[in-house]
C-alpha cells in the first residue's frame, strides 16, 4: 500500500501481479467509457449535439485503447480476471477540478469535454508511473511503464484536439516565445528545452516570492519540487529584462495565489503540448526521446499543481 497522503494512490491496495495490473487498467478504461457514454447521453438530452459527439468519440477512442491494452496483456500472457479491490471501481480519481467540469453539464462545451478527457488521462498516467516507481517486481514495473507510455500517447492526441477546440484561450508565455517549429537536431532541442525550463522556473520563483506569506507548507513543497526538478538547466531567461517582463506579466494578470497557480498550470500544460508536438513531428529519434522524457516530467508536476488547486477549491 502507498501510504503517502500526497500520492494519487494514497491508501490504494498494492498491485500483486501482472494479471492484477492489467485488470486494474482495464477497469479504469471501462469506467472511462461508461462516464463518456453517460455524458454523451446527457448532452443529447440538452440538445448539445457538438459536445455529445465529442463524448461519443471519446468513448469510442477509449474502447480502441482498451483493445490495445488487451493485446498487450495477451502478449504478456496475463489473465485479466484478477479480483479487483472496490477502490479501483468506486473511488473517483479525477479530482475536484474534473468533477467541477462534469457536474456542470449546462456549461459543457467541446473544449471542456476534451479538457476533462485530458485530466482523466493524466491522472491514469500518474497512477501508472507511480506504480512503476514504487514497484519492486520487475515484470509489474516494466508493464506499468509500457502502459504509462501508451497513456502519454493518448494525452498527446487529446491535447492536440483540445487546442483545436479552444477559440478563446489566453496565449501562454511559452506559446508567445515562437518555439512551435520542431527541431531537427538534439543540440537545437536542448536549447529550446532550456528556454522552456527557464520560463517555468522564472514563473515558479515569482509565485513563490510574490505570495510567500500565503503559501502553505504543501504549496511550498509543490513549487520547490518544480525548481528542484529542473535545477540542472541554466536559467537563460531568469535575469535582466526577460525576467522582469515575465515577473511583471504574472503579477499584472494574477491578483491572487490561486490565479497565479492556474497560470503556472497553463504554462506547464503548454510545455507538455510543445514537447509532445515535437515527439510527433520530428524525424530525429534523439529528439523524440528527449521530448517524451521532458513531457513526462512536466505531466508529474501538472498533477501536483492541479491537486493543490483542488485543495484550494475545497476550502
Tell me the C-alpha to C-alpha distance, in Å, between residue 18 and each of 61, 70, 130, 233. 24, 12, 15, 37
Separation CA 223–CA 213 (nearest Å): 14
- C-alpha cell of 288? 523524440
Query: How confident is the model over 123-156, as pLDDT tens digits?
Result: 888 888 888 888 888 999 999 999 998 998 888 8
Whose CA is closest to 24, among 76, 86, 94, 98? 86
Query: b/e string for 32-57 if b means 16 or more Cβ within 10 A?
Result: bbebbbebbebbeeeebeebbebbbb
> DSSP code of 160?
H
**Total H helices, total E strands in the chain:** 12, 0
Grouping H, G, I as helix, E, B as strand and the rest as coil, residue 241 is: helix
Domain ranges of the chain: 18-165, 173-313
pLDDT at residue 289 in the model: 86
Separation CA 106–CA 109 (nearest Å): 9
% of the chain with per-residue pLDDT over 70? 73
Separation CA 127–CA 203 (nearest Å): 27
Separation CA 207–CA 256 (nearest Å): 10
% of the chain with per-residue pLDDT over 90? 14
* Contact (Cβ atoms closer than 8 angstroms) between residue 111 and residue 165: yes
- Considering only 6-20, 93-107, 211-225, which range has the smallest mean pLDDT? 93-107
* Contact (Cβ atoms closer than 8 angstroms) between residue 129 and residue 148: yes
CATH of 18-165, one of 1.20.1600.10, 1.25.10.10, 1.20.1730.10, 1.20.1260.10: 1.20.1260.10
Query: b/e string for 231-265 if b means 16 or more Cβ within 10 A?
Result: eebebebbeeebbeebbeebeeebeebbebbbbbb
Query: How confident is the model over 18-33, as pLDDT tens digits?
Result: 998 999 899 889 888 9
Q: Would you say how long the chain is, in residues?
A: 315
Amino acid at each position: 500500500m502507498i501510504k503517502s497522503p500526497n500520492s494519487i494512490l494514497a491508501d490504494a491496495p498494492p498491485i500483486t501481479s501482472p494479471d492484477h495490473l492489467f485488470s486494474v487498467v482495464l477497469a479504469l478504461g471501462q469506467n472511462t467509457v461508461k462516464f463518456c457514454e453517460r455524458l454523451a447521453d446527457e448532452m443529447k438530452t440538452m440538445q448539445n449535439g457538438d459536445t455529445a459527439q465529442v463524448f461519443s468519440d471519446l468513448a469510442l477512442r477509449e474502447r480502441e485503447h482498451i483493445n490495445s491494452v488487451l493485446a498487450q496483456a495477451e502478449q504478456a500472457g496475463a489473465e485479466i480476471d484478477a479480483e479487483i479491490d472496490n477502490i479501483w471501481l468506486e473511488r473517483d480519481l479525477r479530482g475536484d477540478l474534473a468533477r467541477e467540469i462534469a457536474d456542470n453539464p449546462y456549461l459543457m462545451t467541446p473544449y471542456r469535454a476534451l479538457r476533462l478527457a485530458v485530466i482523466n488521462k493524466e491522472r491514469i498516467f500518474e497512477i501508472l508511473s507511480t506504480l512503476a516507481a514504487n514497484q519492486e517486481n520487475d515484470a509489474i514495473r516494466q508493464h506499468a511503464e509500457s502502459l504509462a507510455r501508451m497513456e502519454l500517447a493518448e494525452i498527446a492526441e487529446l491535447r492536440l484536439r483540445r487546442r483545436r477546440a479552444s477559440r478563446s484561450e489566453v496565449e501562454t508565455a511559452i506559446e508567445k516565445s515562437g518555439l512551435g517549429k520542431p527541431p531537427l537536431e538534439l543540440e537545437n532541442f536542448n536549447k529550446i528545452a532550456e528556454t522552456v525550463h527557464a520560463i517555468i522556473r522564472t514563473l515558479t520563483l515569482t509565485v513563490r516570492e510574490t505570495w510567500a506569506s500565503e503559501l502553505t507548507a504543501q504549496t511550498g513543497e509543490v513549487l520547490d519540487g518544480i525548481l528542484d526538478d529542473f535545477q540542472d538547466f541554466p536559467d537563460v531567461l531568469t535575469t535582466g529584462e526577460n525576467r522582469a517582463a515575465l515577473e511583471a506579466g504574472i503579477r499584472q494578470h494574477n491578483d491572487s495565489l490561486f490565479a497565479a497557480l492556474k497560470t503556472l498550470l497553463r504554462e506547464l500544460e503548454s510545455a507538455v503540448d510543445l514537447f509532445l508536438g515535437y515527439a510527433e513531428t520530428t524525424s530525429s529519434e534523439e529528439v523524440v526521446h528527449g521530448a517524451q522524457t521532458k513531457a513526462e516530467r512536466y505531466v508529474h508536476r501538472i498533477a501536483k499543481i492541479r491537486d493543490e488547486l483542488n485543495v484550494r477549491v475545497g476550502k
